[in-house]
Structure 1
C-alpha cells in the first residue's frame, strides 16, 4: 500500500463520498473506488458500509482512519522538517475552556516571544471535544483538565489547582464556618457543562458524597457562572485560580468544606502516534516551566 492510497481513503472519509473525493483530488471516480477496494483487499477488512448509496465508516474503517491520518501527518511533518527544520509553520494547540481562560494566553505569549516565526493556532472548547480533535489529528497537542481513558492518548500532568465553592458575599452558607457537600444540595447550583474537566471532577465528588444535584444552570462560560454567583442566582464549584481575584476583592465568597474539595489536574495530551515537532516539544517545555514558577 502507498501513501496515495491512504490520502484517497482519508479524503473519502472527509467528504463522505467517492464522487466528492474524486473531485477534490482531481481523480476519476473509478480510480478512487479502486484505491478503496485495494485497501480493503490488502488488509482483508471492510472500510465502509454502503447503505442507501451512502458511506458509513465501519469499526475497522475508524481504526484505519486514525492510523492513516497520523501517517500522512507524520510524512508531511517529515517533509517540512527536512526542508526547513521547523523554522516556520503552524502549531495547532487545543485547550479546555477553564485552562484556556486561566493560563493559555500567558503560555502562548511566552512561546511566541521565543519562537516568533511559529504561528500558534488555538481552539478552546470543552475537554471531551478537544480530546476528540487530538485523536483525529486536528490538533497537535492540547491542555485539558480531564483524565483520558483512550489508549491512543499520551497524558502528561503539568499543573494542579484546587476547586472551591463560591457564593454571593451574603449567602446563608457564609454564616456556616464549615459546611458539607450535602449542604450544597439545599441551594441552586450553577455548574460547567457535561464534558468539561471541571464538571467531571465535581460529578465524581457528588457521587462519592452520595449527593444528587440537578444544576439550575449549565454553561460553557466560566465567566457567566461567576457573574451569576455575584448576583446570588446560585452557588458554584470552580477552580480557585479562576476566581481568586473576585474572592480577594470581596465580589464573591470562597467557602471551606468539612471535607476538602479534590484538586484539578491539568495535563498536556497528544496522540500516541503523533510526531512532536521541535516547536511542539518547546511548547510543552513552556507549560512545564509555567508549572514550576506557579509552585515556587
Structure 2
C-alpha cells in the first residue's frame, strides 16, 4: 500500500539523482527506495526514471510531472500536520529546495538563508545554482520548490512574483577614466570593449538594450562567471554591465572597481521569485517568499 513515506523516497531520489545518496540521506535501505519506485511505476503504468550508470537517475517527462505533484502533496501534508501541532511560537518545519541564478547568488542568498534559518531553526534549506534556464528546469523537474532569478528567461510553465525592479549600470576599473563620471551614455560605450557575462537571457537583454539605440556592443571577452568578469574589468580589459550592486569593490586580486550609472532608460528587468505554474506553495515556501520580499530589495539595489 502506498504512503507518504514512499513518495518521500521518490522525491529525494529525484532531487539527488541517486538511489544510493537518497538511501544515505533518508537512512533507509536502497532496496526499499527501489521497491517504492517500482511500486508506483507498476501502479500507474509509467516509467519515472531513466537509469544511467554514469549520470545516475534522470526523470522521464511523466516522472517530472509525478515528482512535482508528489512534492506538492508532501507540502500539503506538512501543512496539515503543522495545523494540528501548532505551538505558541508556530515554528515551521521541513525542507525547502531553492534554485538561484548563479550570478547574483553570492550577494543575495547567504545572509537571507542565515536570517531565515535563525527565524525557523527547524527548517532545512537545499540550494542549487545555475543559469536562468537551469533555474526554470530545476523547478520543472521537481528538484526545487522556488527559484530566485531575473525575469529574462520567459517560460510558459513558470510564474514570476516580483521582488524588486533592477536597473543596469556600468562597472569599470577604478583606473579607467570613465570611473570619474557620475553617469555615462550607452552611446559612449560603442567603441569600448565589453566583458560580457555570457548567460542565456542576460546576454540577449544587453543586446536588446544596445539595439534600442541602434548600437552593437564591442565584445572583448565572454565569461560565464561573475567573478571572472569582474577580474577582467578590474585589470583594465574593458567594462561590464551589471544588475545588482555588490558591496565589495575589489576583484579577487585586490584591484578596485567602480559603478557608474547609465543615462538611458533600460528595458524592464526584475528580480523575481519563480515557481511552477499551478503549483500550490506550502506555508514554508510562502514564509521564504515573504522573507525575500522583506530582505532582498535593498540588498539587490545597493540601498542597504
> TM-score, normalising length from structure 2?
0.70
Matching residue of 2:147: 142
Matching residue of 2:131: 126
Distance 1:186 1:292, change over 3 A: closer
Distance 1:228 1:263, change over 3 A: farther
Provide the C-alpha distance between the structure 2 equivalents of 1:69 and 1:291, rounded to a whole number of angstroms: 30
- C-alpha root-mean-square deviation of aligned residues, in Å? 4.2
**Cα deviation digits, residues 9-38 of structure 1 (max 9, x gap):** 9999x89xxxxxx99633999x898657x5
Query: Post-superposition shift, 1:111?
Result: 0.6
Matching residue of 1:94: 99
Higher helix share: 1
Distance 1:79 1:126, change over 3 A: same
Counterpart secondary structure, 2:143: coil
* Greater C-alpha Rg: 1
Counterpart secondary structure, 1:162: coil
Matching residue of 1:106: 111
Provide the C-alpha distance between the structure 2 equivalents of 1:240 and 1:90, rounded to a whole number of angstroms: 28
Provide the C-alpha distance between the structure 2 equivalents of 1:141 and 1:287, rounded to a whole number of angstroms: 11
Distance 1:105 1:98, change over 3 A: same
Provide the C-alpha distance between the structure 1 equivalents of 2:206 and 2:161, rounded to a whole number of angstroms: 21
Matching residue of 1:224: 228
Distance 1:279 1:186, change over 3 A: same
Listed as ranges, the gaps of 5+ residues in structure 1 are 16-21, 41-46, 48-56
* 1:185 is aligned to 2:190: yes
> TM-score, normalising length from structure 1?
0.71
Matching residue of 1:199: 203
Query: Post-superposition shift, 1:39?
Result: 5.9
Listed as ranges, the gaps of 5+ residues in structure 2 are 19-30, 49-57, 84-90
Counterpart secondary structure, 1:289: helix
Query: Post-superposition shift, 1:158?
Result: 0.8
Please say if residues 72 and 281 of structure 2, whose CA atoms lie closer than 8 Å, have aligned partners that are also in contact.
no
Structure 1 window deviating more from structure 2 (73-82 vs 173-182): it is 173-182
Within a 5 Å distance, the mapping from 1:253-264 to structure 2 comes to 253-262=258-267, 264=269
Please say if residues 99 and 143 of structure 1, whose CA atoms lie closer than 8 Å, have aligned partners that are also in contact.
no
Matching residue of 1:239: 243
Within a 5 Å distance, the mapping from 1:19-168 to structure 2 comes to 25-26=34-35, 38=45, 62=61, 64-83=62-81, 87-168=92-173
Provide the C-alpha distance between the structure 2 equivalents of 1:162 and 1:33, rounded to a whole number of angstroms: 48
Please say if residues 191 and 218 of structure 2, whose CA atoms lie closer than 8 Å, have aligned partners that are also in contact.
no
* 1:212 is aligned to 2:210: no
Count residues in correspondence. 266
